[in-house]
Amino acid sequence: MFGSKGMNRSGIEASFAKGMLHRSMIDATNSTGNSVASLTTSVTDADVGAKRGIAVIGVTGTSSGAWHYTLNGGTTWIALSATSITAALLLPSNGSLTKLRYVLNLNFVGTVSISYRAWDQTSGTAGSFANVATASLVGGNTAFSAAIETACLTVGPLFASLD
């Protein structure tokens, strides 16, 4: 497939390590978030120098908080709108610039998750949406992995000690 950034010879393969999000990505309002790079460490691509990223296809926890992303290191956080396999949000892996965070509602205890495909950035634009719904749009020589990963974040109760 020829993408806007050149030929994608062999496609992208995702053999993800089990995704766990860092506790530092949650806070009432000012979480520093998780870098997208931390979610793509085990993604491989046969093309030398291939870029990495993710295509967010779903999130849980929207009734107990809100997901946000930034493309500029946290200067501006954007609420993550509804995503799906027909409207996957494209987020590049570019060091600490692109991040995700979860802003929880007061007193929330539980587990939230984010599901995504690997994205090699040969088609699509960071911050835009892509259709990754059918077999012809993923795997092989496409910009998106056939594999789907889900990263989880478990929020436990916080106890304060009054002395």
Residue 98's alpha-carbon distances to 36, 128, 131, 156, in angstroms, are: 6, 13, 21, 26
pLDDT of residue 89: 98
**Cβ neighbours for 161, distance < 8 A, ≥ 6 positions apart:** none
pLDDT of residue 14: 44
Q: State the pTM of this model.
A: 0.82
pLDDT along the chain (163 residues), means of 10: 34 44 54 88 82 95 93 95 95 94 85 93 96 94 92 72 44
Radius of gyration of the chain (CA): 16
pLDDT of residue 163: 45
pLDDT of residue 28: 54
Report the candidate in 94, 44, 98 with the shortest Cα–Cα distance to residue 71: 98
| Residue 137 backbone dihedrals phi, psi, to 5 degrees | -100, -5
SS3 string, the chain, reads CEECCEECCCCEEECCCCEECCHHHEECCCCCCEEHHHHCCCEEECCCCCCCEEEEEEECCCCCEEEEEECCCCCCCEECCCCECCEEEEEECCCCCCEEEEEECCCCCEEEEEEEEEECCCCCCCCCEECCCCHHHCCCCCCEEEEEEEEEEEECCCCCCCC
Give the max Cα distance, the chain. 65
